[in-house]
Amino acid sequence: MMGNRNCHIYLSDIPTGESVYITKVLGHGAFRKRITEMGFVKGKKVKVIKNAPLQDPIEYEIMGYNMSLRRSEAAMIEVEPIIEGDLQQLFHYEGIIVEETPRMRGIPKTKRINVALVGNPNSGKTTLFNRVSGSHERVGNYGGVTVDIKEAVVKFESYKMNFTDLPGTYSITEYTPEELFVRNHIGEKKPDVVVNVVDASNLERNLFLTTQLIDMDIKVVIALNMYDELEYKGIDLNYHDLGLLLGIPIVPTIAVKGVGLVALLEKIIEVYEDQDPITRHIHINYGSMIEESIDRIRAELRKNKELTDQYSKRYLAIKLLERDQSTLDRLKICSNYESVKKITESEIRRLEREYKERSETVIADAKYGFISGALLETVSPKKRETLKKKKNFDRFLTHKYLGFPIFFFFMWLMFQTTFTLGAYPMEWIEMGVGYLGKLLSTKIPEGTLHDLLIDGVIGGVGGVIVFLPNILILFFFISLMEDTGYMARVSFMMDKLMHKIGLHGKSFIPLLMGFGCNVPAIMATRTLENRKDRIMTMLLIPFMSCSARLPVYLLIISAFFPKHQGLILFSIYLIGILIAVLSALLLKNTVFSRQDVPFVMELPPYRLPTMRNTLRHMWHKASQYLRKMGTVILVASILIWALSYFPQNKELLAEYDQQIAQVELNETLSSLEKEKLVLALELEKEGTHQEQSYIGQMGKFVEPVLLPLGFDWKIGISLITGLAAKEIVVSTMGVLYHADFEADDNSHNLAVKLQQQVHTTGKLKGQRVFTPLVAFGFMLFILIYFPCVAVIAAIRREASLGWAIFTIFYTTLLAWLVAFAVYQIGSLL
C-alpha cells in the first residue's frame, strides 16, 4: 500500500499538529546518513510540533523525542497520511542468528578492567561516570557536551576498573569526529567491556547504536539509564527478555540518583569474567538478501588472517556494504584488496537493484526493523501520561513572538547580574589583596625580593583575581542554560539567522560560550558535524569578548568614561559581534562557499538540573580559570616584572637618590614643597628606569607601528604581554604604572595613573597618552587582536596549524586597522 502514489507529499508540507508516515528519504551522503541514524526511516511516524519563531527550522516528534529540521531538509522526506485503522506492520523483523562457535578470546584475566562508556548524547554517560568515579566532570543537557575523554579509576571488589567517558554519538559511522573517535577507541584501545548507556525513555533510537555494537562483536553491558523517566512515561519494559534477545545483559540505572550503579559494576565484572549467563554472541538477522551479501564479502575477507584477528569479519562486511570509506581505506593493506572491493561493489549493486534504495539505507532499515521487532516483543505500553506541563513551558520559551524577547531578557539578566552582583565580592577581594600587600611589605625588608613579591606577584595576580566573582556568576548562568536544555532551544531559534551568515544554529552555543572563555568555546565546536562549520565558528569565536578581556575594559572605562559605563561596555561587545558577522559573511563568500550540512538536531526534554550538578559544572569552568591564574598569569607577571626591573642602571638610580637626598636636606624649602619635589623626582626615576629596562626596549621597538593609533610604548608593552593572556594586560599596567595596591586613598590607583600618563617621545611628547579616543581604540584593539596563546593552541589542535596562523594575522591586522580608523577619523572630527 505504500509507495504507489503518483503525486508525492513531503514532510515540509505538513501543517503543525499533524502526523504522517515516512515513505522515503531522498538526498544522499551526510544528510541521509544523519537523518537515518536519528530515526527518519521508512515506516516511522512523524508529528509536526511547531515552527521556530522565524518559521524555520521546524520541530518534529519521532520515536517519542523531538528533533529539529530545516524546511529545506524536511522537503527531502516523502510522507504519506496515516489512514485510520491502518495498523500494518511496516518493518521487517527477522530476529537473530546465534553464533554456534563459542568465542575464544584468550585474553589473560587480570585484576584491571578497562571500561568504556558509549552512548547517545544526553543519555547520561557523564552523570554515570561522575557518580561511579566520584569525579567532577561537567554534565550538560546539550548534545555533545562531552568533547574530551575523561578517565577515572574505580576500585570495586578486588578489581581496579578504568572508566573512560567517550563522546556521545548516535551511531558509529565515520560521519563526525566523535564517531570516528569512539570507533577507533573501541577498535584500537580494545576496552575489556563497553558499557552502552541507553536512554530508556528513548529506546528505539538509542538501540540503533547498540545494533552497531552487536555487529562489532565486543563485550557489552547495557546501562538502561533514565529508568525513572521510563517509569514516569508509564512504559512497561521487560528488560530481562530484551537482554536475552540482544545477548547483552541490561542493568536499569538512574544515574542522577546513583541508583543501580553497584549492580552495574557487578555486572561488568561478571561479563569480564565470562560468568554472565545472558552474554552471548548473536547476529542481527538482516534478512536473506543482505545476509547473503555479508557472507560473500566475509568469505573474501577471511583470506586476510592478520586483519580479521583484530576486527570481526561480519562487522567489516557490514561496514563495506554501508559504503564506509574508512573501512575500505583500512583494507588497502590487504593483498586481496582489489577483489574485496570488486565483490563489495557488485553486492551493493545487487542489493540496490532489489530494494530500490541505497544500500546504507537498506541496512539501517533492517536495523530499525530489528529494533522494532525486539521492542514489540518486550514492551507493553501502559497508560500514557501526557507531559503537558513541560510542553506548555516549551511553547512559551520558543514562542513565535515571545521566544526572542525572552532570550534577550535572559541574556540581559545574565550580564546584569554578573556585574551588579559581582561587584560586592569583588570589593572584598580587592580589600584582601590590598591588606596582604601591606602586610608583606612591612614584613619583608626592602630589596629585590620585596619588589618581586609586592610589585610582581601581588600586583600582577591581585589585579586579576578580583574578577573571579564575575566569572563565577557568568559561568553559573551558562551552566544553567546548558543543564536545563534551554541552550538547544536557543540553537533552534537562532538557526535561521545563523544560516544567513553561513553558520548553523548549533554554532550559536560555542559563540555564546566564547563570552566566558574562548578556549572551551573552541573545544565546543566539536559538536558541529561539518568541518566547514567548525572552522568558521572557531575563526569567529575570538571576536566574542571573553571574560579575560573584561578587566581591561572595566579599568579603561572607569578611568576615561565615568559617565556612560554600561553603554560603552555594551558597545564593545556589540562591535565584537558586528565584526564576527562581517567576518562570517566574508568567509562565507570566499573560503567557505560550499554547501552546508543539515540542521538535524535533537531537542532534549527539559530537565530540572540539580543545583549540585550546576554548581559543579560552574566550578569546573572556574577552576580552569584559577589554574590559569596560578600558572600562566603568575609566571607572566613575574617575567614581566623582571623584564621591567632589569637591567638595573645602578649609577643612574644612585644619582636620583642623591638628588632626592639633596632636596630633603634643603633648608630653604617648606615640607610641602619638599614632598612635591621628591615625588616628581621619584616618578622620573621610575620612568627613566623603565624606559631603559628590557621591556621598555621592546615597547620602544614596536612603538613606531602603534603611534598612528595614538598608542605609546607602554601600551605597546601591555599589548605584547597580552599575547600570553588578556588578563595580563591589566596586571602589566599595574606593574608598569606602579599602581599601589597598598595605598589607602585612590590617588595611586591604576585608573588615576593612567589618566596622568604623558607621551615621553615622538611628536606627541608631553601630551596626554589616553584621550577618550585612544582609550576607546585601545579597548577595540584588545577586543580584536591576537586572542591569547591558549586560544591559538586550541585552534591549532581543533583545525590546523594553517588556521591558527591565519587567526594570528587576521585578528591582529584587523585590530590595527580598526584602532587606526577610530583614532584617525576621530581626530578629524
Rule CB under 6 A: which residues touch ligand GDP?
119, 121-127, 139-141, 145-146, 168, 225-226, 228-229, 254-256, 483, 607, 609, 613
What minimum distance in Å lies between the beta carbon of 52 and ligand GDP? 23
What minimum distance in Å lies between the beta carbon of 216 and Mg ion? 21
In this complex, which beta carbon is closest to Mg ion, that of residue 139 or of residue 584? Answer: 139
Q: Interface with Mg ion includes 225 (CB under 5 A)?
A: no
Residue 141 binds which entry of Mg ion, ligand GDP, none, CB below 5-8 Å type-dependent: ligand GDP
What minimum distance in Å lies between the beta carbon of 127 and Mg ion? 8
In this complex, which beta carbon is closest to Mg ion, that of residue 146 or of residue 507? Answer: 146
Q: In the stretch 117-136, what mask flags binding to Mg ion with x, by CB under 5 A?
A: --------xx----------
In this complex, which beta carbon is closest to ligand GDP, that of residue 313 or of residue 506? Answer: 506
Question: How many Å apart are CA 38 and CA 35, to the nearest integer?
Answer: 5
In this complex, which beta carbon is closest to Mg ion, that of residue 205 or of residue 496? Answer: 205
> How far, CA to CA in Å, does 226 sit from each of 233, 250, 258, 382, 392?
11, 13, 11, 18, 22
What minimum distance in Å lies between the beta carbon of 151 and Mg ion? 14
In this complex, which beta carbon is closest to Mg ion, that of residue 141 or of residue 644? Answer: 141
Residue 119 binds which entry of Mg ion, ligand GDP, none, CB below 5-8 Å type-dependent: ligand GDP
CA dihedral 584, 587, 588, 593 (to 10 degrees): -160
Residue 304 binds which entry of Mg ion, ligand GDP, none, CB below 5-8 Å type-dependent: none
Residue 115 in contact with residue 247, Cβ under 8 Å? no
What cell numbers appear for 411 in the block? Answer: 541574556
In this complex, which beta carbon is closest to ligand GDP, that of residue 122 or of residue 202? Answer: 122
Pairing relationship of beta strands 193-199 and 220-225 according to DSSP bridges: parallel
In this complex, which beta carbon is closest to ligand GDP, that of residue 261 or of residue 544? Answer: 261
Residue 644 in contact with residue 694, Cβ under 8 Å? yes
In this complex, which beta carbon is closest to ligand GDP, that of residue 197 or of residue 629? Answer: 197
What minimum distance in Å lies between the beta carbon of 118 and Mg ion? 11
In this complex, which beta carbon is closest to ligand GDP, that of residue 146 or of residue 398? Answer: 146
What minimum distance in Å lies between the beta carbon of 172 and ligand GDP? 15
Q: Which of 752, 774, 756, 775 is nearest to 766 (CA)?
A: 756
In this complex, which beta carbon is closest to ligand GDP, that of residue 279 or of residue 613? Answer: 613
Pairing relationship of beta strands 45-51 and 19-25 according to DSSP bridges: antiparallel
Residue 226 binds which entry of ligand GDP, Mg ion, none, CB below 5-8 Å type-dependent: ligand GDP
> How far, CA to CA in Å, does 620 sit from each of 163, 430, 793?
19, 24, 20
Q: What sections of 467-609 are H helices per DSSP?
A: 468-484, 486-500, 508-513, 518-524, 531-540, 550-560, 565-589
Q: Which residues are within 8 A (CB) of 813 and not within 5 positions of it... i.e. 6 or more apart?
A: none
Residue 242 in contact with residue 118, Cβ under 8 Å? no
Question: How many Å apart are CA 178 and CA 176, to the nearest integer?
Answer: 5
In this complex, which beta carbon is closest to ligand GDP, that of residue 609 or of residue 734? Answer: 609
Q: Interface with Mg ion includes 613 (CB under 5 A)?
A: no
Residue 463 binds which entry of Mg ion, ligand GDP, none, CB below 5-8 Å type-dependent: none
What residues between 71 and 110 interact with Mg ion by CB under 5 A?
A: none
In this complex, which beta carbon is closest to Mg ion, that of residue 44 or of residue 125? Answer: 125
Q: Interface with Mg ion includes 146 (CB under 5 A)?
A: yes
Q: In the stretch 37-56, what mask flags binding to Mg ion with x, by CB under 5 A?
A: --------------------
How many residues interact with Mg ion (rule CB under 5 A)? Answer: 3
Residue 254 binds which entry of Mg ion, ligand GDP, none, CB below 5-8 Å type-dependent: ligand GDP
Of 139-147, 208-216, 759-767, 810-818, the segment contacting Mg ion by CB under 5 A is 139-147
Q: Specify the residue for cell string 557487578.
A: 266
Q: Which residues are within 8 A (CB) of 689 and not within 5 positions of it... i.e. 6 or more apart?
A: 648, 649, 652, 653
- Neighbouring-strand partners of residue 768: 758
Question: How many Å apart are CA 762 and CA 714, to the nearest integer?
Answer: 13
Pairing relationship of beta strands 159-165 and 193-199 according to DSSP bridges: unpaired
In this complex, which beta carbon is closest to ligand GDP, that of residue 114 or of residue 146? Answer: 146
What minimum distance in Å lies between the beta carbon of 150 and ligand GDP? 10
Pairing relationship of beta strands 96-98 and 65-69 according to DSSP bridges: unpaired
Pairing relationship of beta strands 58-62 and 19-25 according to DSSP bridges: unpaired
In this complex, which beta carbon is closest to ligand GDP, that of residue 252 or of residue 576? Answer: 252
What minimum distance in Å lies between the beta carbon of 178 and Mg ion? 11
What minimum distance in Å lies between the beta carbon of 204 and ligand GDP? 17
Q: How many CB atoms lie within 10 A of CB 448?
A: 11
What minimum distance in Å lies between the beta carbon of 199 and ligand GDP? 8
Contacts 24+ apart (CB under 8 A), 369-372: 369/91, 369/92, 369/93, 369/94, 370/93, 370/94, 370/95, 370/96, 370/211, 370/284, 370/285, 370/286, 371/203, 371/204, 371/207, 371/208, 371/211, 372/91, 372/93, 372/204
Residue 562 in contact with residue 772, Cβ under 8 Å? no
In sign, the C-alpha dihedral spanning 189, 195, 197, 198 is positive
Q: Which residues are within 8 A (CB) of 570 and not within 5 positions of it... i.e. 6 or more apart?
A: none
Residue 55 in contact with residue 403, Cβ under 8 Å? no
What minimum distance in Å lies between the beta carbon of 411 and ligand GDP? 22
Q: Which of 244, 248, 239, 246 is nearest to 268 (CA)?
A: 248
What cell numbers appear for 678 in the block? Answer: 621628591
What minimum distance in Å lies between the beta carbon of 363 and ligand GDP? 25
Q: What is the CA radius of gyration of the chain?
A: 32
Residue 487 binds which entry of Mg ion, ligand GDP, none, CB below 5-8 Å type-dependent: none
Residue 46 in contact with residue 19, Cβ under 8 Å? yes
Q: Specify the residue for cell string 606602579.
A: 738
What minimum distance in Å lies between the beta carbon of 143 and ligand GDP? 7
Q: Which of 166, 171, 137 is nearest to 37 (CA)?
A: 171
Residue 124 binds which entry of ligand GDP, Mg ion, none, CB below 5-8 Å type-dependent: ligand GDP
What minimum distance in Å lies between the beta carbon of 120 and Mg ion? 10
In this complex, which beta carbon is closest to ligand GDP, that of residue 226 or of residue 717? Answer: 226
What minimum distance in Å lies between the beta carbon of 163 and ligand GDP? 13
What minimum distance in Å lies between the beta carbon of 759 and ligand GDP? 54
What minimum distance in Å lies between the beta carbon of 104 and ligand GDP? 34
In this complex, which beta carbon is closest to ligand GDP, that of residue 327 or of residue 527? Answer: 527
Q: What sections of 134-202 are H helices per DSSP?
A: 177-184
What cell numbers appear for 345 in the block? Answer: 561493489
Q: Which of 215, 107, 117 is nearest to 162 (CA)?
A: 117
In this complex, which beta carbon is closest to Mg ion, that of residue 177 or of residue 425? Answer: 177
Q: Which of 359, 221, 376, 391 is nearest to 293 (CA)?
A: 359
Q: Catalog residues that contact Mg ion under the rule CB under 5 A.
A: 125-126, 146
